Chain A
Amino acid sequence: MAADAHSPLAQFEIKPLLELHPFGIDATFTNASLIMVVVVALITLFIVAGMNKATIVPGRFQGMVEFFYEFIANLLQENTGSAGRKFFPLVFSLFMFILACNLIGLFGVFTVTSHIIVTFALALLVITIVTAVGFIRHGAHFCSYFVPQGAPMWLMPLMIPLEIISYLIRPISLSVRLFANMVAGHVMLTVIGGFVVGLNGLLIGFGVIPLAAIPLIFALEVLVALLQAYVFAILTCIYLNDAIHLAH
């Protein structure tokens, strides 16, 4: 699978930094692992530094930390009410982790969220927790979630399997959405970056056109990075609300 070094896909290559095989499991420390560790360190540092010497009237740095805190707190409150409050650390961690991975990826290092297995693992975590919450709160009654209200009885053999399939597809849609957005953005940036050289080779000065487009596409990608983290967080909240309140 070794793509050639100039391929737009080369940026997604996993490069081992330290071979680790504890208990026969492949846990090699790679460039992806390094970025994940850096992301966790940066998020923690951001909050701790912002809250160092916290005051009642916040300064700029503290205000920024509080902005993220209240943004997620409000998102959770609006979608799940007070019953969802205990999931706040989870939603906050998910949002910050995805946001930081997306943004760091834009600086040409490595994008953890452009790996489907990573986004799928996160989505599966969300769905597992949501399903567990549903069964813990409502027991077997949670299965009524798959019975649409108001639909005629003879449609049930069709509707119930459809509802179950749509529920099972959630982790896939949740993970593919994030993965595809990240991959598409990075491939596009790399390809257009390649055009700068390619078009210049064709006719000197022509490379200016794709060069001018890059800052615009980069700005768009920053927006996508923010938006996809937000979408992941809000969908987590909505799924949690479904499980907590069993409302269709």
Chain B
Amino acid sequence: MPQFDPSVFSELLVWLALTFVALYLLMSKFALPKVAAIIDARAERIQGNLAKAEAIQAEAAGVMAAYEKAIADAKAAAQAEIAKAQAQIAADTAKREAEFAQRLGAQTQDAEARIKATKAEAVAQVKAIAADLAGSIAGKLTGAGVDAAAASAAVDQALKERA
């Protein structure tokens, strides 16, 4: 095998050393930093964008919280307003009902009094007419004059017996 011929070792080693050292220097000083620069720039860009996205997300969360707080505040205010209005309405209604009940009571009392008076008057008139009638009937029957007072007393007497 030509690989085990020691006469070629020296030339192979010399050129391997030359070319490999050249490759190492080209890679480490020239080629690889170029690749590293762009990869680092990309990583930095991605990191920056991620940080930015995070900040925007935090901001959005803050806005959301403020929005929710505003909604809650508005709801609470509305609730308070509604409660107040309801209380007002209830108070008004109670007051009006009380007034109405009072007025109704007074009117009822008035009407009852009027009815009583009218009734008493009617009874008195009926009594007078009855006495008158009884007096004139008795006068016609007996032909004698009847005392108006006696007739009235007799009517009273008769009404009492009937009652």
Q: Does B32 lie within 8 Å of A92, measured CB to CB?
A: yes
Q: Does B26 lie within 8 Å of A27, measured CB to CB?
A: no
Q: Does B34 lie within 8 Å of A27, measured CB to CB?
A: no
Q: Which residue of chain B has its CB nearest to the CB of A50?
A: B35
> Chain B nearest CB: distance from A33 CB in Å?
4
Q: Interface residue count for A (Cβ, 8 Å)?
A: 51
Q: Is A114 an interface residue (CB 8 A)?
A: yes
Instruction: Give the 4 A-B residue pairs with the shortest CB-CB distance, closest first.
Output: A89-B28, A33-B15, A36-B19, A47-B31
Q: Does B31 lie within 8 Å of A117, measured CB to CB?
A: no
Interface centre among A26, A30, A125 (most CB of B within 10 A): A26
Query: B11-54, CB under 8 A of A: which get 1 and which 0?
Result: 11111110110111011101110111111011001000000000
Given known A-B contacts A13-B2, A32-B15, A93 and B24 have beta carbons under 8 A apart: yes
Find chain A residues with CB under 8 A from B41 CB.
56
Q: Which residue of chain B has its CB nearest to the CB of A115?
A: B3
Q: Does A69 lie within 8 Å of B32, measured CB to CB?
A: yes
Q: Does A29 lie within 8 Å of B2, measured CB to CB?
A: no
27 A–B contacts, CB within 8 A, in A order:
A1-B1, A12-B1, A14-B11, A26-B7, A26-B11, A27-B11, A27-B14, A27-B15, A28-B11, A33-B19, A36-B15, A40-B23, A43-B23, A44-B26, A44-B27, A47-B27, A47-B34, A51-B35, A55-B38, A56-B38, A62-B38, A112-B16, A114-B3, A115-B3, A115-B12, A117-B9, A179-B3
> Chain B nearest CB: distance from A57 CB in Å?
8
Given known A-B contacts A3-B2, A28-B11, A121-B13, A88 and B32 have beta carbons under 8 A apart: yes
> Chain A nearest CB: distance from B31 CB in Å?
4
Find chain A residues with CB under 8 A from B36 CB.
69
Q: Is B147 an interface residue (CB 8 A)?
A: no
Q: Interface residue count for B (Cβ, 8 Å)?
A: 36
Interface of A is mostly: helix
Interface of B is mostly: helix
Q: Which residue of chain B has its CB nearest to the CB of A45?
A: B31
Query: A118-132, CB under 8 A of B: which get 1 and which 0?
Result: 100110010000000
Find chain A residues with CB under 8 A from B39 CB.
66, 69-70
Query: Per a CB cutoff under 8 Å, which of B2, B7, B27 touches A9?
Result: B2
Find chain B residues with CB under 8 A from A183 CB.
1, 3
- A19–B19 alpha-carbon span in the complex (Å): 18
Q: Is B8 an interface residue (CB 8 A)?
A: yes
Given known A-B contacts A48-B31, A51-B31, A66-B39, A37 and B19 have beta carbons under 8 A apart: yes
Q: Is B142 an interface residue (CB 8 A)?
A: no
Given known A-B contacts A36-B16, A51-B38, A93-B24, A25 and B10 have beta carbons under 8 A apart: yes
Query: Per a CB cutoff under 8 Å, which of A44, A56, A62, A115 touches B31?
Result: A44
